[in-house]
A and B are shown apart, each in its own frame.
Chain A
Amino acid sequence: MKLKWWKILGIVLVLYSIIAGLLMPVPKLNILNETIRNLYFHVTMWFSMIVLMLMSLIQSIRYLSSFDKLRDLKAESLASTGMFIATLGLTTGMVWAQFTWGAFWVNDPKLNGAAVTMLIYLAYFILRNSIENEDTRARVSAIYNILAFVIMIVFIGILPRMTDSLHPGNGGNPGFGNYDLDSNMRMVFYPAVIGWILLGSWIAQLSYRIKVLEINKENN
């Protein structure tokens, strides 16, 4: 009944990021003011979402090479947890945008890209639920998952960098990496990213284990 070390590490890192993120000194910038601290909470959502989707992709590819049904279940759990985290990222981003850019939704390539990505992944779940046969469902959704991941990278990783974006690090804007993200912020930001990735994987793992329990119950 022992808790795995990485789950405890995830809790400790996120707790650290909450306390240090609110109290540590941050660069004093116009418009952003104290909201620069959202970097520790909003941006980490997207980082962990991308990592969860990557893990889901890996499980899908491994499903296609082994046809092991459990891998398909893992891919689904990871993708749905990633979607949940993306929803949190989108909502927090909207609040942040309202008070720094002046509107809940602005015509920014990164925002629209994130919206497209979420619709693509919504389609993944609709596709899953629309196929009755288990093997076909697993195979088709694994292939679709590969496509969805590629589209996600294009829409939130590549396209925003090719045009002007309000997000730092894209288009003509200077990135946080250049001078805004000073060493103090890195000390909180990177642990926060790792912590949220670990927490996200934990939640995904729980939902996977519950699914396995349900299947075992049906078979008995």
Chain B
Amino acid sequence: MKFIITLLFSLFCSTLTMAQDVEMADVMRSNGKIYVVVAIIAILFIGLMIYLIRIDKKVQKLEE
């Protein structure tokens, strides 16, 4: 029982300290925001590939 109370108390304390610095748990803002760069490069690459697929489809149409 004592253990559970200490556990709850420590959890409560930790949430308190978390609330103090506003930083929220956010993947995109961790590690110097590198994930944002990754996301942008991935979007660029996907965009280019969609463009390539469209060219492919157009050539396919012309071939028919």
Contact = CB atoms under 8 A, between A and B. Distances in A.
Contacts of A23: 34-35, 38
A210 B46 contact: no
> Secondary structure of the A side of the interface?
helix
A18 B45 contact: yes
Contact of A22 (B41, B49, B55, B59): B41
A14 interface: yes
Interface residues of A, number: 16
> Secondary structure of the B side of the interface?
helix
Contacts of B53: 3, 7
Contacts, number: 38
A96 interface: no
A210 B41 contact: no
Interface of B: 34-35, 37-38, 41-42, 45-46, 49, 52-53, 55-57, 59-60, 62-63
Interface of A: 1, 3, 7, 11, 14-15, 18-19, 22-23, 202-203, 206, 209-210, 213
